[in-house]
Structure formats: structure tokens, C-alpha cells
């Protein structure tokens, strides 16, 4: 009978009318942290009045960082400690359904159509000790807010417990603001922001929305994704792919293992990967030399028909092709694996290199 009751509750949750769903299509992380209070070990909340154009700085030894924006003159901070196997802090983005049924044993979260229950496992007392040992300090000066998180006994002391602990820094800042985010372990996410972004972590992905300012990102292990930037971009990962949308300024992108995808770039491009393909589009006339290099993978570059550059493309194993007219400077028969010459009279150098893969110059739509 008990099993039948649980099944009945699950069916009701899945098929109950849409009015039961709580803001399913636009629910930020900070709005849903209360639905699984039984899984929250500790929560810290702070609010500071600031003005647009200020700076948020976070430096933490551990934890993921999620920054959202709103039309407000304040910084709201919520730091949540929870067991690593709980669903707390994982419910963000469009299309997720969050519900609470008082008859159920646990609160229920439906993510991408899958029901996920809260953790029932017994918590190790050492994890609770680690939570209490993690100190969070706040500093507010004018329109700037600084948050630091560290273990009083040192991170190494809790190395075994960290796999069973989750810490999330959930921030809401004014739309026009600057952020500088550092965490030793955990992903970093920044929503659309009218300001500069700096982010660094030792392990975890970097996710950025539409950023109007400069973007600087570093991660030792994780992918990097940026929707767009109205300024310059400089990102690097030791292991992971890089995907960047349209950028008005210059782009520096480097990964040791993974592909690189760049949208329309208004400035110069320097992209390098040891293993993976590279795709990029030059949306304007570069003022300085551009370089795309991979040790294993293809290279595809889209160029406007009126762009003026000097091309130097070579592959050790593969071919080089072009849809644009190139005045070759190579005497005699041009080898299929190399192309060197000028487009529209020449200009800054466009250097393309791959050890294993093809190179293609394609004409972009004007």
C-alpha cells in the first residue's frame, strides 16, 4: 500500500495542471533554494546597498559561484552548504519544473522531465564539521562588495570530506556591475552583465552570458562558454572546449585539449589548441596579425570578401583550400598542403597551422 501511495503521488506531480508549477520557465537558482530545506546544512544571507558600476569580488577555497543580474541597487548574497548528493543548487535554467507536495516523503524536483528526490543518505559528521570550519567573511565599502571563503584548518585537512560537500555562492548584482571571481574548486557562471568579468578556478567550467565589458577567464580543467562580448576576450583552459559567440574586440583563446569555436570577431584572433578543431569568423579588417594553431584537427576561417590580409597556411597531413582569390608568392607548383600569398593586396598576417587536418578559407556572407 505504501508503495502504491508513493507511485500515486509521483503520477500527480507529473500530470497535475500547469497552474501548480511554480514559475517553471524562468526560475533563478536563488528562488528555489527553499524547496529542499531539509538538505541544506547551512545558509548565509547578506544584502548590501550599492550603486551601478561597482565591483563584486569573491575569493574562495571551495565552492561554485553563480552570478545573476537584476534592475536593483543592491547586492544580494546567499551561500548554501548542502550534501554533494542533494539536488540543492542544481535547478536553474529554462524548462525546469519545481514543485512541493506536502504528502510526499521528500520534496520533488523535476529536471528535464526526470524526477529527482532529495538525499536520504546518512550524513557523515565530518562533513558537518567541515561546514562549520568554512569561514565566510564580507566587506562592503561604497559600491564594492568583497566575499572570502576559507577553511580555518586549511583545505587539505578536509580533502576527503570535500567530495561529499557542496557549497554554492549565489549572487544577484545590479545589471551594470563588474565581477572578479576566484574559486579553487567549482564552476563559475555569470549571466548577462553590463560590465567587466574576471573569473578563475582550478577545476570547473566557466559560463558567461552576454557581457558588455571585457572577459578574462582561466580554468585548469573545464570548458569555457561565452555568448558574446562588446569588448575584448582572453580565455584559457588546460582541458576543455572553448565556445565563444560574437565579439566586438580582440580574442585570445587557448586550450590544451578541446575544440575552439568562435563566432564573428571584430578584432584580431589568436587561438591555439593541442588537440581539436578550430572554427572562426573575421567580421572586420584586422589591424594586427592573427594566428590559429592546432596540433591535431582542422581549421576553418570565414573571411569577408573585401578583407585584406597576408595568408600563410600549412598542414603536415591534409590539404589547404580557399574560396577567396589568393595571389600566391610560392614559385612553381603550389603544394596542396600549403598556401601563402595575399588577399586584396595584402595586410596583417593570417597564420594558420595544423599538424593533422585540413585548412579551409571560406567566403563569409557580406
Neighbours of 311 (CB within 10 A): 25
Residue 184 has pLDDT above 50, yes or no: yes
- State pLDDT tens for residues 272-329: 999 999 999 999 999 999 999 999 999 999 999 999 999 999 999 999 999 999 999 8
Residue 36: its pLDDT value, please?
52
Residue 106: its pLDDT value, please?
34
- State pLDDT tens for residues 307-320: 999 999 999 999 99
Q: Give the mean pLDDT of 49-62.
A: 97
Residue 18 has pLDDT above 70, yes or no: no
Residue 28: its pLDDT value, please?
38
Q: What are the residue ranges spanned by the domains of the chain?
A: 205-366
Residue 330: its pLDDT value, please?
83
More confident residue, 159 or 199: 199
Q: State phi, psi for 73 to the nearest 5 degrees.
A: -110, 55
Residue 96: its pLDDT value, please?
33
Kindly report the average pLDDT of the chain as a whole number. Answer: 84
Residue 33: band (very low, low, confident or very high) from pLDDT cuts 50, 70, 90: very low
| Torsion of Cα atoms, 45 then 50 then 53 then 59, to 10° | -30
Residue 31: band (very low, low, confident or very high) from pLDDT cuts 50, 70, 90: very low
Tell me how far the alpha carbon of residue 238 is from its chain's centroid.
Answer: 14
Residue 94 has pLDDT above 80, yes or no: no
- State pLDDT tens for residues 98-156: 333 333 333 334 333 343 444 444 678 899 999 999 999 999 999 999 999 999 999 99
Residue 287: its pLDDT value, please?
93
Residue 79: band (very low, low, confident or very high) from pLDDT cuts 50, 70, 90: very high
Q: Give the mean pLDDT of 182-209.
A: 96
Residue 24 has pLDDT above 60, yes or no: no
Residue 15: its pLDDT value, please?
42
Q: Which residues are within 8 A (CB) of 161 and not within 5 positions of it... i.e. 6 or more apart?
A: 124, 126, 127, 129, 130
Query: In this structure, what C-alpha cell is assigned to residue 366?
Result: 557580406
Q: Which residues are within 8 A (CB) of 83 and not within 5 positions of it... i.e. 6 or more apart?
A: 39, 41, 119, 121, 123, 127, 164, 165, 166
- 228-251 core/surface letters (b: 16 or more CB in 10 A; e: else): bbbbbbbbbbbbbbbbbbbbbbbb
Residue 185 has pLDDT above 50, yes or no: yes
Q: What is the pTM of this model?
A: 0.81
Residue 365: its pLDDT value, please?
80
**53-57, 86-90, 225-229: lowest mean pLDDT where?**
86-90
Residue 87: its pLDDT value, please?
53
- Is 302 within 8 Å of 363 (Cβ atoms)? yes
Query: In this structure, what C-alpha cell is assigned to residue 226?
Result: 561565452
Residue 19 has pLDDT above 50, yes or no: no
Query: In this structure, what C-alpha cell is assigned to residue 137?
Result: 567573511
Q: What is the 3-state secondary structure (H, E, C) of 123-154?
A: CCHHHHHHHHHEEEEEEEECCEEEEEEEECCC
Residue 246: band (very low, low, confident or very high) from pLDDT cuts 50, 70, 90: very high
More confident residue, 72 or 4: 72
Residue 233: its pLDDT value, please?
98
Neighbours of 61 (CB within 10 A): 21
Residue 221: its pLDDT value, please?
92
Residue 38: band (very low, low, confident or very high) from pLDDT cuts 50, 70, 90: low
Amino acid at each position: 500500500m505504501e508503495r502504491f501511495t508513493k507511485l500515486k503521488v509521483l503520477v500527480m506531480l507529473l500530470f497535475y495542471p500547469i497552474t501548480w508549477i511554480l514559475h517553471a520557465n524562468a526560475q533563478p537558482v536563488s528562488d528555489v533554494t527553499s524547496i529542499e530545506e531539509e538538505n541544506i546544512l547551512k545558509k548565509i544571507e547578506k544584502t548590501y546597498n550599492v550603486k551601478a558600476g561597482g565591483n563584486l569580488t569573491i575569493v574562495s577555497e571551495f565552492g561554485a559561484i553563480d552570478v545573476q543580474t537584476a534592475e536593483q541597487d543592491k547586492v544580494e548574497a546567499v551561500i548554501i552548504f548542502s550534501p554533494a548528493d542533494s539536488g540543492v543548487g542544481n535547478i536553474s535554467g529554462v524548462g525546469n519544473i519545481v514543485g512541493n507536495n506536502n504528502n510526499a516523503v521528500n520534496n520533488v524536483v523535476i529536471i528535464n522531465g526526470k524526477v529527482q528526490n532529495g538525499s536520504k543518505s546518512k550524513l557523515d559528521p565530518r562533513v558537518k564539521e567541515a561546514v562549520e570550519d568554512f569561514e565566510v567573511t564580507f566587506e562592503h565599502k561604497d559600491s564594492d562588495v568583497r566575499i572570502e571563503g576559507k577553511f580555518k584548518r586549511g583545505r587539505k585537512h578536509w580533502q576527503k570530506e570535500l567530495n561529499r560537500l557542496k557549497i554554492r555562492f549565489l549572487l544577484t548584482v545590479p545589471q551594470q556591475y563588474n565581477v572578479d571571481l576566484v574559486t579553487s574548486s567549482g564552476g563559475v557562471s555569470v549571466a548577462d552583465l553590463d560590465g567587466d568579468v574576471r573569473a578563475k578556478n582550478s577545476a570547473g567550467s566557466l559560463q558567461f552570458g552576454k557581457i558588455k565589458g571585457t572577459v578574462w577567464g582561466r580554468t585548469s580543467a573545464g570548458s569555457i562558454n561565452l555568448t558574446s562580448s562588446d569588448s575584448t576576450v582572453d580565455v584559457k583552459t588546460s582541458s576543455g572546449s572553448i565556445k565563444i559567440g560574437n565579439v566586438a574586440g580582440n580574442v585570445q583563446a587557448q586550450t590544451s585539449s578541446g575544440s575552439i569555436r568562435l563566432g564573428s570577431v571584430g578584432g584580431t584572433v589568436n587561438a591555439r589548441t593541442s588537440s581539436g578543431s578550430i572554427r572562426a569568423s573575421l567580421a572586420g579588417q584586422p589591424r594586427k596579425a592573427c594566428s590559429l594553431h592546432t596540433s591535431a584537427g582542422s581549421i576553418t576561417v570565414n573571411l569577408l570578401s573585401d578583407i585584406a590580409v597576408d595568408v600563410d597556411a600549412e598542414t603536415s597531413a591534409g590539404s589547404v583550400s580557399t574560396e577567396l582569390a589568393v595571389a600566391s608568392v610560392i614559385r612553381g607548383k603550389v603544394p596542396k598542403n600549403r598556401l601563402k600569398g595575399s588577399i586584396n593586396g595584402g595586410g596583417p598576417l593570417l597564420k594558420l597551422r595544423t599538424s593533422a587536418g585540413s585548412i579551409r578559407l571560406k567566403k563569409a556572407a557580406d
